Structure 1
Amino acid sequence: MSRSFFRRLKADTSGLALIEFAYSLPIMLFLALGGIELANYAVTQTRISQMTITVADNASRAKQVVVNANPRFREYDVQEVFRAAEIQAGNLDIRGRGRIIMSSIERNAQGGQWIHWQRCFGRGNFRSSYGVQGAGRTGTSITAIGPAGRQIVADAGSAIIFVEIFYPYEALSMPDIIRAPTIRKTAAMYVRDDRDLSQIYNPSPAVAVASC
């Protein structure tokens, strides 16, 4: 080949943009997919957070009005709260992959906090971070419930509905970008009326108990 050919080849820049694009494409693709993954994770976090608040709020309001007696909370009401959460979850499949743990936090006779009852929903293999049903029934070993800095304390004669939701996030395309894939949210709401706190009732026709 002649020297003139190599001079023309050296001066030829017609494919420069294509080569630069080929070099930058992996970086652009990584940034685009990473951005989509982080956005989806943030949206899922928000949806789980809103669901947690809704479960606590619904359970704090649900009741069966009883003539000449305080309203009662029933196993039927528990089922309805969980059913509403499943509808709200939509395609997140909270029943198949997640776990909702709903507890009634009350004050025991010694002034400590205790988990009077606890109900669960979902097949996810998660446990409450604060104890099981009956924990703290006597004594003052439990003084408050909840994450550090955001703990709650039930007053005498009242109850707080405390909800924990665990959900294992499923990545769209880049699982390594999410370092903590399990989403965990908590919410608490005071019971809104002078509810009968002695038990969860299950009048006829009885429904299945959503035990943990």
Structure 2
Amino acid sequence: MIRFVPLRRRVRDSIARFTRDARATVLIEMAFAIPFLVLVGFGGLEIANLTLTQTRISQIGLNAADNASRIAAGSNLAQPQVRETDINEVFAGVETQAGNLDFKTHGRIILSSLERNDDGGQWIHWQRCYGDLDVESSYGEAGDGEEGTDFPGMGFEGAEVTAAAGTAVMFVEIYYDYQPLLYGKVVGQRRMHSTAAFNIREARDLTQVYNPSSVAVSNCD
């Protein structure tokens, strides 16, 4: 004899078995937990990427200042000269080191030659730039301090970098607009800024930047 169980009872029994099954509890917990874990996981990835990018930007600025402090071409018969092509090569190194940051589009590096003027004050003799980000130097532009002693140097107020007589300091400012991975609205627009300075490694001709090959000048206009 076939016994038919009413549909309502079968549904009730199925629900009862489901509620007694520990696996059901795990499924429910996972259903609630997985979205939260994904959110936290990607949030951690964003923070890690932000920190790594800031470190990379800082290192790029340090390397650029270091490389600029070494550039000079010439012979033993005269002081080495700084050429526009040498400066452009420093900026080419910046782009190579930046890699996938798309630095030219989202960043800008400002290289200044900080020197002593004839009055013993600080002077930004020349300045070159690379990158499309529309920012200006936070510490001065080419020609500042050419006369007198009012210009204190470059850097944070009260802790300015200064150049000694007969030498020069390659001062770098680097800016970069951070490109978020996923949480752009949460992270918001973040403009990274870093500075670096190196004294030139050997005596060089400080009168001008030479351009014997007539290459493009990386002006800051």
Q: TM-score, normalised by structure 2?
A: 0.87
- For the residues of structure 1 that align with 2:18 and 2:75, how far apart are their CA atoms? 93
- For the residues of structure 1 that align with 2:125 and 2:133, how far apart are their CA atoms? 23
Name the residue aligned to 2:163. 154
- For the residues of structure 1 that align with 2:30 and 2:159, how far apart are their CA atoms? 50
Taking a change above 3 Å as real, the CA distance of residues 40 and 85 of structure 1, as seen in their structure-2 partners, is same
Q: 2:67 aligns with which of 58, 63, 87?
A: 58
**Larger of the two Rg values belongs to structure:** 2
Matched positions, count: 210
Structure 1 position 28 matched with structure 2 position 37: yes
Identity %: 46
Stretches of structure 1 lacking an aligned partner (at least 5 in a row): none
Q: Which amino acid aligns with 2:202?
A: D
Instruction: Indicate conservation of the 8 Å contact 2:111/2:171, yes or no.
Output: yes
Alignment of 1:131-210 (within 5 A): 131-148=140-157, 150-178=159-187, 181-203=190-212, 205-210=213-218
Name the residue aligned to 1:19. 28
Question: RMSD between aligned alpha carbons?
Answer: 2.0
Tell me how far 1:139 sits from its aligned partner. Answer: 2.1
Q: Bigger CA drift: 114-123 or 170-179?
A: 170-179
Structure 1 position 77 matched with structure 2 position 77: no
SS of 2:45's partner is helix
Q: Which amino acid aligns with 1:160?
A: V
Tell me how far 1:141 sits from its aligned partner. Answer: 2.3
Instruction: Indicate conservation of the 8 Å contact 1:72/1:201, yes or no.
Output: yes
Instruction: Indicate conservation of the 8 Å contact 1:101/1:121, yes or no.
Output: yes
- For the residues of structure 1 that align with 2:95 and 2:63, how far apart are their CA atoms? 11
Q: Which amino acid aligns with 1:122?
A: G
Tell me how far 1:31 sits from its aligned partner. Answer: 1.2
Q: TM-score, normalised by structure 1?
A: 0.90
Stretches of structure 2 lacking an aligned partner (at least 5 in a row): 1-7
Instruction: Indicate conservation of the 8 Å contact 2:91/2:130, yes or no.
Output: yes
Tell me how far 1:49 sits from its aligned partner. Answer: 1.3
- For the residues of structure 1 that align with 2:143 and 2:158, how far apart are their CA atoms? 24
Tell me how far 1:26 sits from its aligned partner. Answer: 2.5
Taking a change above 3 Å as real, the CA distance of residues 13 and 72 of structure 1, as seen in their structure-2 partners, is same
Q: Which amino acid aligns with 1:206?
A: S
Taking a change above 3 Å as real, the CA distance of residues 142 and 178 of structure 1, as seen in their structure-2 partners, is farther
